[in-house]
Structure 1
């Protein structure tokens, strides 16, 4: 018996197969182009996304050398927010909008200034950002009303993929709770929110919200023909990707800090309380995979994607004979050759987004003629680690209150990098055996929905296994504290530049 997890990320679409002890039998991934028809618009053709999902599902079954009937349950996850708009027949009426879309950013400012955001906050416990349905739908009302007129259903991307597998229209609570349209107390869409936003006609277009481990439907005959899965296989409602990642990290209480360092730097913890006053709101708040908890999150795209940029421009052209894994080995050795106190260069990892001023961009600061590529590479590693620290401090919770941190994503594959983050945070860090937490979290959800596991605790016990444990080295505490202070000063500098250049 095997579990299958599908992860529709902002960059990659992934599918993986696991046995019931958490061993990854195979993984398949693909990318499809992002369309940018205008500045700030990020879209994908909906049918192309489905075809890419079909591709990775078929490929992973072939790689794992298992038939579709060996899969006992399927789970889905994906980026939160953005949206897919479908007509009465389930056909897309507009391209899929991705979570990086900024077309409606001016509406966030408007909602803050005219009091709209404050009016909906008691229900949502959230402030708005540009790619949320709560912001996109008013934009469509004003700019493309004809699209909304054709729309029967409004859903997330992972809910759309589940719809194509099962033929059943449904929402899911962790995903829905992130879009600023759900009352987090009732766990349902709230008509009052839609009325305040001036989109009351959209209320009836929202699918029924399921709990994450509910079975939303079963693989259809049509989906069987396309994917190689077996008709009748149960499909779980699934998770928002930050929930899938945290579950696959084994986080089951408010004692653990969850750090995910992939394309995004995602930093989160579980909490039984959330700020009830907008003035006290500091982080993103959503409902979590653990029903009695919220997820408190602070995240930006300031993580390992910045290293990939550096490698593509300054390392790979000179080392074309090396494989990707060999290049990372070389990089780790170069970074290790430079002592932290010897590197005075500061890298701000704002190449794909900012954690501070919205118009701030990446930079190397404090370079001298004596600095070589090894120093610059160490600065990149440190800048990405410090970005995670910046978010952790933004969570406004003392590090001493966590028993440990669980780390996954690109950083966790590097012992040098993981130890660096451990020394900087001065908290024990555990990495995991499997490096794709999103798909694994979705598969764990499927295991509970399909009755393979009694509950999430049982799923974690069977499927989550710690890889390596890092202990903070006290002799580096002051060194990294001083370097982090310089990093924060660098953020202030690029913010000032952004303000001047506006």
Structure 2
């Protein structure tokens, strides 16, 4: 009997389920866009009952599309956006909408708690700076604004762990997410009373469930979930990890010499590290037992380009496929040398990577500029935002021999080469169309006994489709453009700072 794996990815934009064989080949994928609920400006939520229905739908569709028997599936891996928050009762039913990681309602709270010294007081326990949709911040926000939600809550979960509970009946976190949600002591890997006390959350510490290891079996598909999804009851579900980790694992990163970049809804920039580095924005346990993962990220990536396509290209081209529009964009960008356009785009349509209040902007637009100049500036701005994050990762003198890139940008050779030229290092591009799902499936492969460890799983399941090499002649051109981009960021700091 052949053996297959499922990887389920609840991302900020789409929910996906992919079927893989043990060689990492994607057999089939199904996806669904679950509508966002935006009750107020800056709030992003989803109906968790709809989220579960959507997951059940894509699981069933992916398995049918793959033409495999549910009995041939030996393991399931789960991933999704990190943090946000899901409030559920003891039966696993939601007591409030799921808050998505792009939610910004906690921005003022982050500033207040930092000013009050709370962040500094617990930083060396968590190695996490506050950010608006962080689970810790969300719990404080709900305590102060909607305490009735917390009172009704038995378990606080992340989005992937909500799906775990629906699949297995087991309320369970996993170790990578618990160490990035701002509530766990990264040294002891335990929820720490001192952290909860500093945040004013002591009475809610019992809402946090136990956690599993990344490659441990965290539960098995229940009879009820089997009926809902078409799966076979008893399939093991791995602890897995959130998308920052699964993306790196799917790129085959097992050392600290390689920069990992993931360009999807979020710009995720990261590397493995054996050290806890003071001043880092976010350090958590990684999938690899010997390493932490150091992350710099913000929602400043390809979703900004999608906004342009959906707002300005699609309405004028009814019936034209997105693939055709993407091809046109690539041709336009490729037709304009980087030195021939000084338009700067700041990809802050959804949130900022620098000043907390900054919004998206174009600089240097003139009547001379056409659609190609604008699109090129969007491509460049998204990569420059990634470079801002990578500069922070390298502040302590860290260097990288090479980089690996996954996500939507990799479908464009023009954009991938631009990344390579801006960073001026060899760039390997993942062959995986769904790297998050693949990384989750790799966790399931180890949990299910198909492979003994990460080395074996990476050797068999990770495939890169192309290596790009930097054009040295473009290094100075892009350095000057990046310097102009940083000046634009400084202008936004001035514009959005109150006197």
TM-score class, shorter-chain normalisation, is over 0.9
Q: Matched residues in 1 for 2:20 and 2:407: separation?
A: 18
Displacement, 1:143? 2.6
- Are the equivalent residues in 2 in contact too, given 1:77–1:438 (CA < 8 A)? yes
Q: Distance in 2 between matches of 1:308 and 1:465?
A: 27
CA–CA distance in 2 between the matches of 1:400 and 1:132? 26
Output the CA distance in 1 between the equivalents of 2:250 and 2:396.
24
How far, CA to CA, are the matches of 1:388 and 1:140 in structure 2?
31
Name 2:348's counterpart in structure 1: 350
- Displacement of 1:441: 0.6
> Deviation at 1:397?
4.7
- Count of aligned pairs: 497
* Structure 1, 442-451 or 391-400: larger mean CA deviation: 391-400
Question: Deviations 1:63-119 (Å, cap 9, x if unpaired)?
Answer: 111121111100000111121112233322222122122333333222212222222
Residues 297-329 of structure 1 show CA distances to partners (whole Å, capped at 9, x for unaligned) of 111111111111222233223433432222211
Q: How far did 1:353 drift?
A: 1.4
Gaps of 5+ in 2: none
Describe the SS at the equivalent of 1:25: strand
Tell me whether 308-317 or 168-177 shows the greater mean CA deviation: 308-317
Deviation at 1:440, TM superposition (A): 0.7
**Per-residue deviation, 1:141:** 2.4
**Equivalent-residue separation in structure 2 for 1:62 and 1:449 (angstroms):** 24
**Separation of aligned partners in 1, 2:376 and 2:429:** 21
SS in 2 for 1:235: strand
- Off by >4 Å, runs of 4+ in structure 1: 397-400
Counterpart check, 1:219 vs 2:215? no
Asked whether the 8 Å contact 2:107–2:356 carries over to 1, the reply is: no
Superposition map of 1:83-482 within 5 A: 83-275=85-277, 280-397=278-395, 401-482=399-480
Instruction: Rate the CA distance shift 1:369–1:88 in 2: closer, same or farther, 3 A.
Output: closer
Map Cα deviations across residues 384-419 of structure 1 (whole Å, 9 max, x no partner). 121111111121258982121000112111111111
In 1, the alpha carbon distance for the partners of 2:357 and 2:441 equals 38
Alpha-carbon distance between aligned partners in 2 of 1:32 and 1:193, rounded to the nearest angstrom: 34
Bigger Cα displacement from structure 2, 176-185 vs 400-409: 400-409
Q: In 2, distance between residues paired with 1:497 and 1:141?
A: 33
Q: Which moved more, 1:346-355 or 1:315-324?
A: 315-324
TM-score (norm 1): 0.96
Secondary structure at the aligned position of 2:8 is classed as: strand
SS at match of 1:462: helix
Stretch deviating more after TM superposition (143-152 or 395-404): 395-404
Three-state SS of the structure 2 residue aligned to 1:93 is coil
Change (3 A) 1:109 1:376: closer
Change (3 A) 1:138 1:359: closer
Distance in 1 (alpha carbons) for counterparts of 2:296 and 2:158: 21
- Separation (CA, whole Å) in 2 of partners of 1:93 and 1:242: 27
How big is the shift at 1:164? 0.8
3-state DSSP class of the match of 1:315? helix
Q: Deviations over 1:5-62 (max 9, x none)?
A: 0001111111000111111011111111111223333221111110010010011011
> Take 1:93 and 1:465, find their aligned partners in 2: how far apart are those partners?
41
Using the TM superposition, give the Cα deviation of residue 169 of structure 1 relative to its aligned residue in structure 2, in angstroms. Answer: 1.6
- How far is 1:252 from its partner? 0.8
Please, what TM-score do these two structures have when normalized by structure 2?
0.96
What is the deviation of 1:147?
A: 2.4
1:270–1:294 contact (8 Å) kept in structure 2: yes
Q: Distance in 2 between matches of 1:400 and 1:235?
A: 36
Distance 1:148 1:470 in 2: 49
1:322 alignment partner, SS class? coil
Measure the CA separation in 1 of the matches of 2:374 and 2:167.
Answer: 47
User: Cα deviation per residue 1:403-440 (whole Å; 9 max; x = unaligned)?
Assistant: 21000112111111111111111110000111211111
8 Å contact from structure 1 (residues 188, 209) kept in 2? no
Distance 1:41 1:375 in 2: 32
Shift in Å at residue 372 of structure 1?
1.4
| Contact in 2 for aligned 1:399/1:427 (Cα 8 Å) | no
Q: Distance in 2 between matches of 1:85 and 1:131?
A: 14
Given the superposition, is the C-alpha separation of residues 15 and 385 from structure 1 closer, same or farther in structure 2, using an over 3 Å criterion? same
Please name the residue that 2:496 is paired with. Answer: 498
Calculate the aligned-residue CA RMSD, in Å: 1.6
Structure 1 CA distance, aligned partners of 2:153 and 2:373?
Answer: 54
* Distance verdict in 2 for CA 1:160–1:52, change over 3 Å: same
Q: Secondary structure at the match of 2:497?
A: helix
Q: How does 1:4-23 map to 2 (within 5 A)?
A: 4-23=6-25
TM-fit CA distance, 1:498: 2.2
Indicate how the Cα distance of structure 1 residues 353 and 142 shifts in structure 2: closer, same or farther if over 3 A, else same: closer
